[in-house]
Amino acid sequence: MPDSEGPPAGVDPDKASVARMYDAMLGGEHNFAIDREAVAAFTAIDPQVRTLARANRAFLGRAVRFLVASGVRQFIDLGSGIPTQGNVHEVAQAAGPGARVVYVDNDPVAVAHSASLLADNPDAAIVAADIRRPDDVLSSPQVCKLIDFEQPVAVLMITILHFITQEESPAGIVGAFRDALPEGSWLALTHATDEDRPDTAAAVGRLYRSRATSPVTARSRNEIHSLFDGFDLVGPGLVYVPLWRPDADEDIPDNPSQYWVYAGVGRKSA
């Protein structure tokens, strides 16, 4: 995205965007200098941040394929970010033709690029909404059109809940979506942890508070596990992202805790 074009309406030019930073980490082009500067500062704290971003994206693909194989044909991707390679609708519709996907984001750049990408796809849509207001998402025309709550639905919360503060009640947000889902639905999430690399997590937290539009709240494994209340985790449980059902050709790191993000997938219990 050429910086000369300037940010669109609704974008704070003095703050890096979480969605655009992630795009920059993945090598995308839909970001601004302010976002790339923040990623450079992040890389100074943790040189493998781009590797971690790719590992998180790879988990998303594996999780979606697992969910399709488990019979899911409906997905709500919360905090979906800017479209890049391996988008949920691409993975899901390749594995299960006719799969329907609703993306949700509050970043204007993410929403605009998603709308453009999905213009000719009748089974996918983008909602401009904040996940802190679940009712706005669940009552949106796009969700009402594409999602049948009489059938299993997978809700994806990929690296989004650590941008929700304790005061904003991440458990309450997950609970609101869980309560709207029929039995047999699913939750997939990834979440940064401060358990094994507390100094790194603290430094990243300071970076996001000072430079980005959303702060980061890393949490312990137990705190992240509690977000699955009402869901039964499938094997291998809550693990570091590279360890969740890796593909045969994927490298398993010698020290998985260096990937300081947990991942899990759970099925809504009776």
Kind and range of the H or E run holding 50: helix 49-69
Cβ-based neighbours of 18, under 8 Å, separated by 6 or more = 81, 107, 163, 208, 212, 213, 214
Pairing of strands 231-233, 261-268: antiparallel
Q: What percentage of the chain reaches a pLDDT higher than 70? A: 95
48-96 pLDDT tens trace: 889 989 999 999 999 999 999 999 999 999 999 888 878 999 999 999 9
According to the model, what pLDDT value does residue 205 have? 87
Does this model's pTM top 0.95? My answer is no
Beta strands in the chain (DSSP E): 74-78, 100-105, 124-128, 154-158, 186-192, 231-233, 239-240, 261-268
pLDDT band at 258; cut points 50, 70, 90? confident
**Residue with tokens 């970043």, as numbered in its chain:** 107
The per-residue pLDDT for 4 is 43
Q: Which of 2-6, 129-133, 214-218 has the highest mean pLDDT?
A: 129-133
Task: Give pLDDT, residue 10.
Answer: 59
Q: Please write the tens of the pLDDT for every residue from 103-128.
A: 999 988 899 989 999 999 999 999 99
Residue 96 carries which DSSP code? S
Kindly report the CA angle at 256 between 244 and 223, in degrees rounded to 5? 70
| pLDDT > 70? residue 2 | no
Count CB neighbours of 134 within 10 A: 21
| 83/96 Cα distance (integer angstroms) | 20
